[in-house]
A and B are shown apart, each in its own frame.
Chain A
Amino acid sequence: MALLQEIYKALEDTVGTQYICDDPAVLDSYSYPLTQTAIHMGPFFDIYTPRGEAVLMPGNAKEVQAIVRICNQYKLKLKASSTFWSAMGYPSGKNTIQLDMRRMDRIIEIDEKNMFAVIEPGVIGATLQAEAMKLGLNTHIIGAGSSCSPLASATSYNGAGPDCMFMGFGDENLLGLEWVMPDGEILRTGSLGSVLGWFCGEGPGPGVRGIIRGVVGAKGAMGVFTKCALKLYPWPGPPELPVEGTAPAYKAMLPDNFRAYTLAFPTWEAWADCCYQIWDAGIGYIAHRQFSLFGRELKAAMIKILTDPTKTLYDLEKLVQDPEIKKLNEEMKRDFQIVLAGMTPRDIEWQDKALDHILAETGGWKVAGMNEPEIRQWALLYLIRLGHKNLNLVYGGGYDGCFGMVGPPDLGTTHVEEVAEFKCEWERKGAIVDAGGDCMIGGIGGMGGGGGTMWENFAHFDPHDKESSEGTFDFFEACSRFAREKGIPPGMERWNAPSRGADGIETPTEDRENMLSATPQPSVFHYQRKIKEALDPNNLGDAYYMTLEEPKK
């Protein structure tokens, strides 16, 4: 359904002719295939998110405010997205205006002394990091990689990543915020709301972090965030990442106060013990079980391919059969990666010594094969910049995570082998890549001394292949059942199922309510309903901001 001419005209007058479009082909480039990284639902073969009525690219908060008011006036729904990574950034129903926020891509300020940056939605992790490093600072980059918007993850989604142990989660770093509320009012939160600057998220001034984010972020369904301040952290490296190498095998030639190791352990208990001891010791800059995303049987071969620009996936089969590669895979069965960054020469020596001590206590070791200069420098760059996260899709073009276990290390280590074995059975059926079952990746630690790990088992498939996509869907269904049977916490594979369904549109209310009622803490969704009723009276946002009616008395 095309927009009424008067509505189009009103929107056009707001942003200018060149920043609005309703051409069907353009709208289809803002339509997302649900066989892709739908996070976390599906995959649904040959299903796309619905076309918006128009796509707009606002240039500032005033324009956003005017658009929101027009949407309220004409009862249009609104979906804002910054970097469009996953289905949640796209319309989930008819009569929706798509906002593409990439024009608003300014780094407004980096306050070196107080260690924060003020950014717009279109800023990505890589650009913010590059600018921060010039001042000896660094920014948290989420697990989805540095092509994503830090503002989006801080306000609108999970915000987890490999550097959480040093730089916290996205939402923890959120300071002052400029928010165009669903009713069109502009609210400035925290210290910004008291005209005291951006330095604090909660006061003096209104603190609305919980309100805007809800359970895991607003997901484009609670107004539009137009600026925010994010906390920055020390960067004890050069002002510019010293990157060398032939594409794609780029590597960082950082000074000796940076160390990148792959640690491995004789048992999963030892793996968990090492996490606890690392947190106790307060060492580490980045820690993540990252390269397992390629799979237990394929990871050493893939690292070989990625660090040698003459190699391609064609070499995979042969490399996998190489006895040295097999040996390395076996050695790295229970592993994770860690980056140490010393603030002084003494600091790095102490951290390394502490790590050696922890490894001696837990029986772990530094994997020598991953400490070859070419691989170590590649790993260092990979983990610091996170510019290779598209490797999630390297095999067949599709992936998603299942078994999302968030908790103390023992939670994941207790289940990792049975989860891997379960996935192995499904890999043999053929719909997903035969990678060795264990494709479990996740961060080691959150802020405040650590204490949490996150596990996500990647399944790789071919979104162009109906059997592969549908087989992957069946696998994820089976994962949910398996988790329930085994007492494993709810998996990521269906996190967003209450928001969008198999037809690409909003999940029907009854289905959504059934799902949310069955969660361990449904009251949070009652609160969110009250928040939505108060702040979004015309229901501009979609069901990604999850709400639940009061139980019938």
Chain B
Amino acid sequence: MPLEDYQAEMERCSQCSYCTWIPLDRIKSRRFAKGCPSVAYSHFLSYSARGRYAVALSLLQGKSTYTDRVLDIVYKCQACGSCDVSCKICRYNLEPLAAILALRAKLVQDGQSLPEHRVLMNHLHKEQNMMLKPKAARGHWAEGLNIKDLATETAEVVFHGGCRLSYDAQLQKTARTAVSLLKDAGVDVGILGNKETCCGSRAYTMGYRKELTNCAARLIKAWTGAGVKTVVTSCADCYHGFKRRYPEVGSTVEVLHTVEFIDRLIKEGKIKFTKTIPMTVTYHDPCHLGRQGEPYVPWKGIEKKIRKQVIVYEPRRPRYNGAWGVYDPPRDVLKSIPGVELVEMERIREYAWCCGAGAGVREAYADFSSWTATERIEEASRTGAEAIVSACPWCERNFIDAAALRGDGIKVFDVVDLVNQAM
């Protein structure tokens, strides 16, 4: 939907500031009560969902114009969706996250983009990745694995590495482990190698919507050609793109995150652990696997009023409020590893604090991105955990960097890494 279509929401916003907090029922301390990194860091209300509604309305009504501050407000946000969850504790007819993304798309359309994002987009157009690396090197992470190349072969399952795991040398092992686990469990799996392209999900959250459509077209074509029925990925951003955005442009493949697949394999007895890992860990829910990882439900309909002024949608509109995200499979996997003790942070599941890397913030606002990750590391440290475990390479990269800056020695793992260690 274009930004203009959100004007009614802007005027129906409750102005309550719930969007700045985690759900009030879930607050356990003053220290970890905030939900929105953007307003917590930048302070002015303008940096909250309610503030962005107001800024957008002001722009639409011509009361204000684009300034550096406006661009800062619009882009200094990870689009993590915490605001969306907290708003929808009570509201059924507001979509703050979708409105924020529409505001970004409007700015991009109006030529009001960030130079850091333009560099990424230029590279995406040329080399089809978000890591400023050559396309020709995309498949190097899988060298020596003897895995099917779906550029020339067919398989039931494609493992999608994603930009971060494909190119981040420190994290590539997670992709190698994940695809090996699948293969060893007897799954008919392959990869696209150098033919794999960026999913386009991060571009979409930066406001570049056409880029997602183009990426989707390329990948769907490749999957179709390789007879793929299921796509598995270890990246939460890719997962969200495949699960929630791709069906809108015609994808029908099943989408699974690696943790879902591994959880399934463990429960079917196809993965067995032989070693004990004596470690206390805490799990960080990636925003795009957790609250934004809910299943896609197609909908086309209209707003109408019942009981004179109650706003509803005909037919029933899906409600994405974080209730049905992927929360238990990664936890079940961790709990099944001998010796691993899982302790929880204060902000978890649908109200988890963001890692700080999303929606182009890592690239454009390094300090803010790092601060957000440091907040999470601090929260993790207070549980007494030796390690923070996640299921997204973007989260892990941000945590590794933040932990190094903090110098407190907390370890950072992907769920897959611990599974591998225990086998």
The residue of chain A having its C-beta at the shortest distance from the C-beta of B325 within the complex is: A247
Let me know if B55 is at the binding interface, CB within 8 A.
yes
Which of A307-315, A344-352, A515-523, A535-543 lies at the interface? Answer: A307-315
How many Å lie between the Cα of A243 and that of B67 in the bound state? 43
CB-based contact B17/A130 at 8 Å:
no
How many Å lie between the Cα of A316 and that of B308 in the bound state? 13
A298-B307 in contact given A127-B27, A312-B317 (Cβ < 8 Å): yes
CB-based contact A127/B307 at 8 Å:
no
How many Å lie between the Cα of A460 and that of B12 in the bound state? 12
CB-based contact B307/A250 at 8 Å:
no
How many Å lie between the Cα of A7 and that of B114 in the bound state? 32
A29-B44 in contact given A23-B67, A130-B27, A431-B309 (Cβ < 8 Å): yes
Let me know if B350 is at the binding interface, CB within 8 A.
yes
Min CB distance B93 to A, Å, is 7
The residue of chain B having its C-beta at the shortest distance from the C-beta of A87 within the complex is: B15
A434-B307 in contact given A25-B67, A124-B21, A464-B12 (Cβ < 8 Å): yes
How many Å lie between the Cα of A26 and that of B42 in the bound state? 12
How many Å lie between the Cα of A381 and that of B27 in the bound state? 12
A146-B24 in contact given A25-B58, A85-B16, A248-B89 (Cβ < 8 Å): yes
CB-based contact A243/B26 at 8 Å:
yes
How many Å lie between the Cα of A248 and that of B16 in the bound state? 17
Contact residues in B for A226 (Cβ distance below 8 Å): none
Which of A32-40, A194-202, A264-272 lies at the interface? Answer: A32-40
CB-based contact B309/A396 at 8 Å:
yes
Let me know if A447 is at the binding interface, CB within 8 A.
no
Let me know if B265 is at the binding interface, CB within 8 A.
no
Contact residues in B for A127 (Cβ distance below 8 Å): 27, 29-30, 33
Let me know if A398 is at the binding interface, CB within 8 A.
yes
CB-based contact A25/B64 at 8 Å:
yes
Let me know if A388 is at the binding interface, CB within 8 A.
yes
Let me know if A206 is at the binding interface, CB within 8 A.
no
How many Å lie between the Cα of A398 and that of B94 in the bound state? 13
Contact residues in B for A250 (Cβ distance below 8 Å): 23, 25-26, 89
Let me know if B256 is at the binding interface, CB within 8 A.
no
How many Å lie between the Cα of A431 and that of B309 in the bound state? 7
How many Å lie between the Cα of A246 and that of B351 in the bound state? 11
Mark contacts of A365-380 with chain B using CB atoms, 8 A cut-off: 1 yes-contact digit, 0 otherwise: 0000000000000000
Residue of B17, B21, B88, B313 touching A248 (CB-CB under 8 A): B88
CB-based contact B69/A385 at 8 Å:
no
How many Å lie between the Cα of A391 and that of B89 in the bound state? 8
CB-based contact B51/A390 at 8 Å:
no
The residue of chain A having its C-beta at the shortest distance from the C-beta of B318 within the complex is: A312
Contact residues in B for A131 (Cβ distance below 8 Å): 29-30
Query: For chain B residues 183-233, which have a beta carbon within 8 Å of chain A?
Result: none
In this complex, how many residues of chain B approach chain A with their Cβ under 8 Å: the count is 67
Let me know if B175 is at the binding interface, CB within 8 A.
no
Contact residues in A for B310 (Cβ distance below 8 Å): 313, 316, 395-396, 433, 460
The residue of chain B having its C-beta at the shortest distance from the C-beta of A428 within the complex is: B308
CB-based contact B91/A394 at 8 Å:
yes
Residue of B25, B59, B85, B92 touching A25 (CB-CB under 8 A): B59
Let me know if B311 is at the binding interface, CB within 8 A.
yes
Contact residues in A for B65 (Cβ distance below 8 Å): 24
Let me know if A468 is at the binding interface, CB within 8 A.
yes
CB-based contact A28/B29 at 8 Å:
no
A388-B30 in contact given A25-B70, A396-B310 (Cβ < 8 Å): no
Let me know if B300 is at the binding interface, CB within 8 A.
no
Let me know if A304 is at the binding interface, CB within 8 A.
no
Which of B43, B70, B308, B311 is packed against the most chain A CB atoms within 10 Å? Answer: B308
How many Å lie between the Cα of A336 and that of B307 in the bound state? 24
CB-based contact B11/A35 at 8 Å:
yes
Min CB distance B234 to A, Å, is 26
Contact residues in A for B43 (Cβ distance below 8 Å): 18-19, 57, 100, 102-103
The residue of chain B having its C-beta at the shortest distance from the C-beta of A394 within the complex is: B90
The residue of chain B having its C-beta at the shortest distance from the C-beta of A314 within the complex is: B316
CB-based contact B312/A247 at 8 Å:
no
How many Å lie between the Cα of A129 and that of B64 in the bound state? 39
Let me know if B393 is at the binding interface, CB within 8 A.
no
Let me know if B159 is at the binding interface, CB within 8 A.
no
Contact residues in B for A430 (Cβ distance below 8 Å): 308-309
Min CB distance A22 to B, Å, is 9
Let me know if B387 is at the binding interface, CB within 8 A.
no
Contact residues in A for B313 (Cβ distance below 8 Å): 314
Residue of A25, A123, A146 touching B69 (CB-CB under 8 A): A25
A241-B70 in contact given A25-B46, A126-B33, A397-B12 (Cβ < 8 Å): no
Let me know if B45 is at the binding interface, CB within 8 A.
yes
How many Å lie between the Cα of A395 and that of B67 in the bound state? 35
Let me know if A186 is at the binding interface, CB within 8 A.
no
Contact residues in A for B13 (Cβ distance below 8 Å): 36, 397
Mark contacts of A416-460 with chain B using CB atoms, 8 A cut-off: 1 yes-contact digit, 0 otherwise: 000000000001001111110000000000000000000000001
CB-based contact B323/A247 at 8 Å:
yes
How many Å lie between the Cα of A468 and that of B67 in the bound state? 35
Min CB distance B32 to A, Å, is 10
8 pairs of residues in contact across A and B, judged by CB atoms under 8 Å: A21-B44, A37-B14, A126-B24, A247-B323, A248-B23, A248-B321, A387-B23, A397-B14
Known A-B contacts: A85-B15, A314-B313. Give 13 more (CB < 8 A).
Answer: A126-B27, A145-B16, A247-B23, A247-B323, A248-B88, A248-B90, A309-B323, A316-B312, A387-B89, A388-B90, A390-B91, A391-B90, A434-B307
Chain A positions within 8 Å of B, measured between CB atoms, are 18-19, 21, 23-26, 28-33, 35-37, 55, 57, 83-85, 100, 102-103, 105, 107, 123-124, 126-128, 130-131, 145-147, 240-241, 243, 246-248, 250, 298, 309, 312-314, 316-317, 381, 385-398, 427, 430-435, 460-465, 468
Sorted nearest first, the 9 A-B pairs with minimum C-beta distance are A397-B12, A387-B24, A390-B90, A28-B58, A29-B54, A24-B64, A29-B46, A25-B64, A23-B69
